[in-house]
């Protein structure tokens, strides 16, 4: 195997993912080769069924590829134990989902504290980290609220705070603005911009052209293959414009 690119956080080599559906084999990913460097700001696009979410699940160690090699932080994911993979998911990668995936009966503060329950630390420390994450997304005044008392944009901010509380190097967003209106989408993208400026590697799965255009790099999938991989011309500062 060739050596990983310097400063790479993700290297995929000939990644495939197959699913058995009834008596047929469905190929969701077909020979994906990608390198993503530290602090890149990437959009993964493509039509429905192109393999975007499958690729996101592989990147986040939520699913194993059928074949190929995945290097995360220059470590071969296939050689990691379940405990080691759980540690990667808890420490190295932050997930943000379109459906928010918040605990409905838990307060905003407890939702954000949740990823820290397996860490050896005092509850006071967990709470302090969660409060800080909520401050970063502008929700310090909502810590006692329940998710159903928040707007869609506020719930997405809670989901982002929950992803940030473990201080991950990589943030993965699966259609993170898909349920939001135009103004809230612009606010959330401004927050992603801030996180990128702070050094996080941002990878967003999206079907929205405006989101893809705003990111610095756009990887388009079609039928489980990389159709194109382009770098956007970025003007600084680049303000997100919807529509």
Residues 42-67: tens digit of each pLDDT: 999 999 999 999 999 999 988 999 99
Given this model, what pLDDT does residue 14 score?
97
Given this model, what pLDDT does residue 69 score?
96
**173, 179, 184, 185 alpha-carbon torsion, rounded to 10°:** 50
H helices present in 82-181, as ranges: 82-87, 108-113, 123-136, 152-164
Buried b (16+ CB within 10 A) or exposed e, 125-153: ebbebbbebbebbebeebbebbbeebeeb
Given this model, what pLDDT does residue 242 score?
59
Given this model, what pLDDT does residue 204 score?
96
Where the chain has pLDDT below 70, the residues are 1-6, 234-243
Q: Please give the CATH number for the structural domain made up of 39-61+79-231.
A: 3.40.50.300
pTM reported for the whole predicted model = 0.88
CA distances, 26 to each of 15, 19, 47 (Å): 14, 5, 17
Given this model, what pLDDT does residue 235 score?
59
Given this model, what pLDDT does residue 1 score?
42
C-alpha gyration radius of the chain: 18
**149, 89, 200, 98 alpha-carbon torsion, rounded to 10°:** -40
Buried b (16+ CB within 10 A) or exposed e, 207-231: ebebbbebbbbbbbbeebbbeeeee
Given this model, what pLDDT does residue 2 score?
44
DSSP three-state, residue 101: coil
Given this model, what pLDDT does residue 180 score?
83
Helix or strand holding residue 185 (H, E): helix 182-197
Given this model, what pLDDT does residue 162 score?
94
């Amino acid at each position: 195997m060739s050596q990983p690119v310097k400063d790479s956080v993700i290297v995929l080599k000939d990644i495939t993912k197959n699913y058995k559906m009834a008596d047929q084999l469905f190929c969701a990913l077909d020979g994906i080769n990608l390198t993503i460097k530290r602090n890149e700001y990437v959009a993964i696009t493509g039509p429905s069924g192109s393999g975007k979410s499958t690729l996101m699940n592989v990147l986040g160690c939520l699913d194993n590829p059928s074949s190929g090699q995945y290097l995360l932080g220059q470590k071969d994911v296939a050689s990691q134990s379940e405990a080691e993979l759980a540690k990667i998911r808890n420490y190295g990668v932050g997930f943000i989902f379109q459906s928010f995936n918040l605990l409905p009966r838990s307060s905003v503060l407890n939702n954000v504290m949740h990823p820290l329950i397996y860490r050896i630390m005092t509850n006071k420390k967990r709470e302090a980290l969660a409060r800080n994450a909520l401050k970063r997304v502008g929700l310090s005044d909502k810590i006692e609220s329940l998710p159903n008392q928040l707007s869609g944009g506020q719930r997405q901010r809670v989901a982002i705070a929950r992803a940030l509380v473990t201080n991950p190097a990589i943030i993965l967003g699966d259609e993170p603005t898909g349920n939001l209106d135009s103004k809230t989408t612009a606010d959330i993208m401004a927050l992603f911009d801030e996180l990128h400026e702070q050094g996080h590697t941002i990878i967003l799965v999206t079907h929205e052209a405006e989101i893809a255009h705003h990111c610095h790099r756009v990887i388009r999938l079609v039928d489980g293959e990389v159709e194109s991989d382009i770098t956007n011309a970025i003007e600084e500062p680049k303000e997100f414009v919807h529509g």
